Amino acid sequence: MKISEQDIKKLQGLSAVAAAERLKKCGYNELPSAKKRSIIKIIIEVFCEPMFLLLVACGTLYLILGDVEEALMLLGFVFVIIGITIYQENKTENALAALKDLASPRALVIRDGTEKRIAGKEVVPEDLIIIKEGDRIPADAVMIWGMNLTVDESLLTGESVPVRKNPSTQIDPEITRPGGDDLPFIYSGSLVVQGQGIAKVLNCGLNSEMGKIGKALLGIAEEKTVLQKETGKLVKTVFVVAAVLCLTIICVYGLVKGDWLNGILAGITLAMAMLPEEFPVVLTVFLALGAWRMSKKQVLTRKVAAVETLGAATVLCVDKTGTLTQNKMSIEKIFSKNEFYDIKDSSINSLPETFHELIEYGILASKKDPFDPMEKALHELGRKTLYSTEHLHENWNILTEYPLSGELLSLSHVYKHPETGKYYVSAKGAPEAIFDLCHLNLQVRDDLAVQVNVIASEGLRVLGVAKAKFNKNELPQNQHDFEFEFLGLIGLADPIRESVPQAIKECYNAGIRVVMITGDYPATAQNIARRIGLKNIDRIITGPELAAMNPAELKDKIRVVNIFARVVPEQKLLLVNSLKENGEVVAMTGDGVNDAPALKAAHIGVAMGERGTDVAREASAIVLLNDDFASIVAAVRLGRRIFDNLKKAMAYIISVHVPIAGIALIPVLLGWPIVLYPVHILFLELIIDPACSIVFEQEEEEANAMQRPPRDSGEPLFGKRILLLSVMQGLFSLGVITGVYKIALMLGQTVTEARTLSFATLIISNLCLILSNRSWSRSIISSLFVPNKALKWVMSGALLFLALVIYVPFLQKVFHFATLHSLDIIIAAGAGILSVVWFEIVKIMSVKKHVELLTN
Ligand code: ATP
């Protein structure tokens, strides 16, 4: 079935009820992909964790030693650890699953007579889908209307040359396969390279051609990020050091004391104390939850790496229309036959005769039922001012379209008069392109350029309009071969988004440059740039100038020029590469098919969720769900917060492991009674795990997060300064705990009493480390006023459990503890607090001296 353009408006599509019924019957239009990990799988993974294996080894040893209670206690902990891991993993998985849902392809369908954007998986057989350039086709379908449609079916056929589609060819759907020109069938997963069309869905999900060959569409790419690699290396190093130390302990114990079993126990305790298992966990949790937090700010993360790179961005390259402006056009000024006319009043209902033909042909050069806001504005003005004239041609159908191209920024529509059979041609586009089509001489062009500037310098987008008649039978290949006559100029206003000027200010404060790259006219771009507060906008480079420039010259000029106008999408790649060569970390926005290479090349490709094509989305690292520039800035802010928190969490992990490992190691080496057993380490892990993964993840941003320059993209997570400060924090804590232990022993306390006292000191010191590391610029006291829900739970939970293991007789026995008296509690608290005082002083000094501690 093929329909005419005239009938498109009448299409009803399925009703919402019918669609829901079909969805129920046929299921979602999706292919089985990697399912969420099941709980069983997570448990199996936990069983393979080194920490778990160490626990089992410990339990077995205790059984061999005949210590059943201790063995059971360890086993009990195993369940708690499995519980925590499942909770964490579930949170991560849920965050990722929610993102996947958001990232799944969308489809534009006609239902109940209106166009609706729905998730691709909700498309059902018999749905009417509207497809256009850059879309991925959501299901197998047969075209009922189309214009210049070509489709890339290489995913199905392996053939990279796009194929032409033609709705009028009649063929039995049973016998067709992907590939081959001029067929009416389009297939799920293939890409619209050019043109547009409407199609009726035949097969969905597993019944589609794609389903038959069992290929899943590209989902969220999960590749290893720089941080993951860096952390991987660190984990390996710590692992090797820990292994060597453990073996040493076992040998020392075995050879010197001849007590191999206890030697192995001490070795395992040390291994558990040093195991760097938190690093990768923290990274995964932070990146996944970071992506989830971004989605709440209307930013969808397609590549996890973007979460970390965003905070380092030094240049944001943005297109103008739709990102900085609202992409809601209205006509404000027109020019024809040497006269200007201002249409500032929206209630206007007539136009002077001089301008009738200009609007008439403007509308003819637009689609009948347009998506394009400029074309919508033309129709709107026509409806209001020409309804009683002979200038509206509802019953004319577009015979042929000459599309807009990078070489010629204008398009033409050809109509055949229903009665006379004569051809009428209308063109609209960039004024220079229209002058070209009209073959105007230089003098006329120069005169008109003055009028164009008058309109553009008011921040309006300017379109030229022309008309032609054609009497021959065969239409020419090229728009240039018509005899066009110039009709006039149309100035369209596109209001800037309200949030943009503030967001631009934030960028400047944060040391980020903003560069406008637009296809629009230079004077228009400059006016908008001024209104949004862009700096250094006197110099503009245009697309043609860019084309004539050599790379060295561009590399030099791009350091200062902030507006690139009349740029075609293909040139964006040049700009990205040039900025990258200058050492910038580039975020680049884009929406069209031709933007894809630049989006891929940029450090952070940013696609538009509303306007953007599927191709642009697939090439980008993040997608702005609301197309708003301010969302990019919000994402940068969040990126900086996540990176800071990651550093704090990692610093805390390092600092807390030093006293634990130290207090496990020192007594063995110095021949003192042992302080820590595996059960103590497990207790500590129960505080450390949620602290580093949840407390630090939730931490608010540092006050100056958007007041400092972007971090160096090569900056490692553990620079020398951060590493040094973390180890020092750990050493201070270790010093205090060891001191408390030794002095207690010297003062005649029993080993059990001294152990209890030093363990309590260790816990208080650990809690102080958490508090102190929450911010590297605020003191502990001022941090207390910054809310953090998880913190309260971790702190009170830790203190409660500490009280339980010290005062509940059964637990006291398993933990080898004695009862603490009030003086002991004061000593433990005082010593614990003392261990972080020096770092608090360092923080205050650094703020006074404007030294950024959290950078390297
Ligand atoms: P940005 O790149 O900031 O989104 P833009 O929308 O102006 O700006 P393009 O879409 O590349 O960029 O358009 C470039 C120029 O092509 C426009 O300024 C206009 O002159 C012309 N043009 C674009 N779309 C149409 C159209 N539908 N009809 C006529 N001319 C058009």
From first CA to last CA, the distance across the chain in angstroms is: 67
Counting residues of the chain whose pLDDT is more than 90, the rounded percentage is 41
Angle between helical axes of 39-47 and 68-103 (0-180°, round to 10): 130
Secondary structure (DSSP) of 24-45: HHH--S----PPPPPHHHHHHH
Ligand 1 atom with minimal separation from the 428 CA: 29
pLDDT at 219: 42
Ligand 1 atom with minimal separation from the 365 CA: 28
Question: What's the pLDDT band for 30 if we cut at 50, 70, 90?
Answer: confident
Q: Is the CB of 622 under 6 A from ligand 1?
A: no
Ranges 174-188, 312-326, 524-538: which has the least confidence: 174-188
pLDDT at 506: 93
Ligand 1 atom with minimal separation from the 521 CA: 18
pLDDT at 851: 75
Strand 398-402's sheet: what is its strand order?
Answer: 339-342, 330-336, 485-493, 461-470, 423-429, 410-416, 398-402
Report which protein residue has its CA nearest ligand 1's atom 10.
519
The alpha carbons of the chain give a radius of gyration, in whole angstroms, of 34
Residues 6+ apart with CB under 8 A from 307: 287, 290, 291, 294, 301, 639, 642
The segment with the largest mean pLDDT, out of 232-236, 310-314, 562-566, is 562-566
Structure-derived torsion over alpha carbons of residues 586, 590, 592, 596, reported in degrees to the nearest 10:
20
pLDDT at 6: 65
- The amino acid at residue 97 is A
Position 205 pLDDT exceeds 50: yes
Q: Is the CB of 238 under 6 A from ligand 1?
A: no
pLDDT at 729: 94
pLDDT at 149: 87
Question: What's the pLDDT band for 101 if we cut at 50, 70, 90?
Answer: low
Ranges 55-59, 499-503, 657-661: which has the least confidence: 55-59
CA of 587 to the centre of ligand 1 (A): 22
pLDDT at 533: 95
Q: Is the CB of 321 under 6 A from ligand 1?
A: yes
pLDDT tens string 698-736: 998 888 888 888 888 777 777 788 889 999 999 999 999
Let me know: does 318 contact 516? Beta carbons within 8 Å: yes
- The amino acid at residue 193 is V
* β-pair partners for 564: 517, 541
Position 504 pLDDT exceeds 90: yes
Ranges 65-69, 282-286, 349-353, 806-810: which has the least confidence: 65-69
Position 753 pLDDT exceeds 90: yes
Distance CA 338, CA 325 (A): 30
Q: What is the mean pLDDT of residues 548-570?
A: 93
Residue 446 burial by CB count (10 A; 0-12/13-18/19+): exposed, middle or buried?
exposed
pLDDT at 175: 62
Tell me which residue of 820, 816, 797 sits closest to 807, measured CA to CA: 820
Q: What is the mean pLDDT of residues 494-516?
A: 94
Residue of 463, 517, 521, 610 best suited for mutating to test ligand 1, as the one with most atoms within 8 Å of CB: 463
Write out 623-678 in H/E/C secondary structure.
EECCCCHHHHHHHHHHHHHHHHHHHHHHHHHHHHHHHHHHHHHHHHHHCCCCCCCH
Joined tokens for residue 76: 């009990």
Q: Is the CB of 297 under 6 A from ligand 1?
A: no
φ, ψ at 474 (rounded to 5°): -95, 125
pLDDT at 708: 86
pLDDT at 503: 94
Q: Is the CB of 374 under 6 A from ligand 1?
A: yes
Counting residues of the chain whose pLDDT is more than 70, the rounded percentage is 95
Q: Is the CB of 367 under 6 A from ligand 1?
A: no
Distance CA 721, CA 727 (A): 10
Q: Is the CB of 591 under 6 A from ligand 1?
A: no
Tell me which residue of 587, 644, 658, 648 sits closest to 620, measured CA to CA: 587
Q: Is the CB of 624 under 6 A from ligand 1?
A: no
Ligand 1 atom with minimal separation from the 462 CA: 20
Q: What is the mean pLDDT of residues 657-676?
A: 89
Question: What's the pLDDT band for 354 if we cut at 50, 70, 90?
Answer: very high
- The amino acid at residue 786 is V
pLDDT tens string 172-182: 666 677 777 88
* DSSP percent split of the chain into helix, strand, coil, nearest 5: 50, 15, 30
Question: What's the pLDDT band for 220 if we cut at 50, 70, 90?
Answer: very low
Distance CA 633, CA 298 (A): 11
pLDDT at 351: 87
Q: What is the mean pLDDT of residues 12-18?
A: 90
Distance CA 536, CA 563 (A): 9
pLDDT at 216: 45
Q: Is the CB of 413 under 6 A from ligand 1?
A: no
Distance CA 343, CA 334 (A): 8
Q: What is the mean pLDDT of the chain?
A: 86
Ligand 1 atom with minimal separation from the 463 CA: 20
Q: Is the CB of 460 under 6 A from ligand 1?
A: no
Report which protein residue has its CA nearest ligand 1's atom 2.
518
Question: What's the pLDDT band for 98 if we cut at 50, 70, 90?
Answer: low
Q: How many residues does the chain have?
A: 856
Distance CA 284, CA 170 (A): 53
Joined tokens for residue 253: 């114990």
Position 221 pLDDT exceeds 50: no
Q: Is the CB of 523 under 6 A from ligand 1?
A: no
Q: What is the mean pLDDT of residues 584-599?
A: 88
Ligand 1 atom with minimal separation from the 433 CA: 20
Position 194 pLDDT exceeds 90: no
pLDDT top residue among 604 and 213: 604
Q: Is the CB of 372 under 6 A from ligand 1?
A: yes
Tell me which residue of 162, 161, 116 sits closest to 138, measured CA to CA: 116
Ligand 1 atom with minimal separation from the 568 CA: 11
What is the three-class DSSP state of 813? helix
pLDDT at 492: 95
Q: Is the CB of 566 under 6 A from ligand 1?
A: no
Position 237 pLDDT exceeds 50: yes
Question: What's the pLDDT band for 103 if we cut at 50, 70, 90?
Answer: low
pTM to 2 decimals?
0.80
pLDDT tens string 389-436: 888 888 888 888 898 887 889 999 999 887 888 889 999 999 999 999
Position 244 pLDDT exceeds 70: yes
Let me know: does 835 contact 740? Beta carbons within 8 Å: no
Residue of 376, 520, 564, 599 best suited for mutating to test ligand 1, as the one with most atoms within 8 Å of CB: 520
Secondary structure (DSSP) of 404-418: --SS--EEEEEEE-T
pLDDT tens string 433-474: 999 999 999 999 999 999 999 999 999 999 999 999 988 878
Q: What is the mean pLDDT of residues 610-625?
A: 84
pLDDT at 594: 80
Position 612 pLDDT exceeds 50: yes
Distance CA 186, CA 666 (A): 72
Q: Is the CB of 588 under 6 A from ligand 1?
A: no
pLDDT top residue among 855 and 116: 116
Q: What is the mean pLDDT of residues 605-633?
A: 86
Q: Is the CB of 542 under 6 A from ligand 1?
A: no
Q: Is the CB of 201 under 6 A from ligand 1?
A: no
Q: What is the mean pLDDT of residues 535-553?
A: 93
14: which DSSP letter? B
Residue 792 burial by CB count (10 A; 0-12/13-18/19+): exposed, middle or buried?
exposed
Which segments of 78-127 are extended strands (E)? 106-111, 114-119
CA of 519 to the centre of ligand 1 (A): 6
Residue of 132, 316, 320, 404 best suited for mutating to test ligand 1, as the one with most atoms within 8 Å of CB: 404
Let me know: does 88 contact 285? Beta carbons within 8 Å: yes
Residue 536 burial by CB count (10 A; 0-12/13-18/19+): exposed, middle or buried?
exposed
pLDDT top residue among 783 and 50: 783
- The amino acid at residue 500 is V
Report which protein residue has its CA nearest ligand 1's atom 25.
429
Let me know: does 578 contact 289? Beta carbons within 8 Å: no
Q: What is the mean pLDDT of residues 155-169?
A: 79
Q: What is the mean pLDDT of residues 492-500?
A: 93
Q: How many CB atoms lie within 10 A of CB 78?
A: 17
pLDDT at 774: 92
pLDDT at 171: 67
Position 510 pLDDT exceeds 80: yes
Position 35 pLDDT exceeds 60: no
pLDDT at 218: 43
Residues 6+ apart with CB under 8 A from 48: none
